[in-house]
Amino acid sequence: MEKYIMMDEERQIIDLAKAILEKELVPRLDECEKKGIFPMEVFKSLYDAGLYGLDIPEQYGGVGISHETAFKLNEEMAWYDAGFAFSFRLASYVANLVYMAGSDYLKEYVSSLILGGKLGAFCLTEADAGSDAAAIRTTAVQDGNDYVLNGVKSFISNGAIADFYIVAATIDRSLKHKGITLFLVEKERGVQVGKIEDKMGFKTSMTSEVIFDNVRVPADHLIGAEGKGFNYAMRDMESIRPTTMTYAVGLMQRALDEAVKYAKVRKTFGTPIINNQGLAYILADMQKLIHVSRSSLMTIARQLDQNQPLNGAGSSVKIFVSDCAMKVTSDAIQVLGGYGYMKEYPVEKLLRDAKLFAIFEGTNQIQMNILAGMLSR
């Protein structure tokens, strides 16, 4: 059954990605999951096939796929592994900040990095500045034609493997959010990787500290204007949040597929358990939540493609879809019973992966604050 209508070009892109993931990622996934590593060989295969950086605008040498196509691709890749899919696609979304506010030089430069196979990361979060991004302590001090960055970023997706970073630093802590400024920083400038986190899920998306110890960055790597970084980041987050939830839909679809497959072959009292009305209704409810999540995200994709404001819809869909992901994956385990609790079957991993969606890109509680604030204006 088709999940959505696909144009020929979309189908070619997605079918190619799925074929590579089936051949290259599936045999490696258990080992990468156990070791908590990003499968670089799979990345290289996808890159060689021309599937990396598809979002880069045509004027900068990319394909410039639409948000709608990108959302479909994200979902299909996440069916195999949400962590890998997220990390593979992250550089394109990090680059959005440059396309939003950067100079023509930086737009050309970040495009060349991604099209050259470089991985990216966004360094915003710190140990004492997670949801309260305005509290960051990483500093940027101008010294001649350079800025000198000092500070430690925490919980950075792709932090350990990125070739370049978009870094939020303050030019004056007393200004709070009005002092936050964004920079494009290549790892080769002396950026160090700190502690690599051992997470409960998203194992193939490596999360780490990123350390800036007197890292010198040319002034032409400043993104936009000094003190405007917080505004740029918050504007970008409104579209990034629903984008991230597309991986949750792929994960949910995998959970449902595994549950249905099991329910068709597992028999009790001489008949497959899918014929039990109580269990069949659990599966139907899972399908319902996936349908509504996917439809909501496709609506937002079309709004983004038409440059329409989301007016809080990004926060709303983040809350809804992430809650659905926890419900669907938990129900998948329930359908499989004792087997669902065992690592021999994939659904327990899906539940562990699903939990992250309610936490990163701003916790669901922060999203509720955003929505409540909009209502009180």
Distance of alpha carbon 144 from alpha carbon 122, whole angstroms = 26
Strand partners, 171: none
How far are the Cα atoms of 133, 184, 257, 279, 348 from residue 98, in angstroms, in the given order? 19, 8, 38, 49, 38
Cross-strand partners of 149: 140, 215
Residue 223, classed as helix, strand or coil, is: strand
The Cα–Cα gap between 90 and 86 comes to 6
* Catalytic annotation present for 361: yes
Residue pair 155/125 in contact (Cβ under 8 Å)? The answer is: yes
| Residue ranges of E strands in the chain | 120-123, 139-143, 146-157, 164-170, 180-186, 192-196, 207-218, 222-223, 267-268, 271-272
Query: Can you point out the beta strands (E) in 197-275?
Result: 207-218, 222-223, 267-268, 271-272
Active-site position among 10, 75, 238, 361 = 361
Point out the residues that are catalytic.
Answer: 361
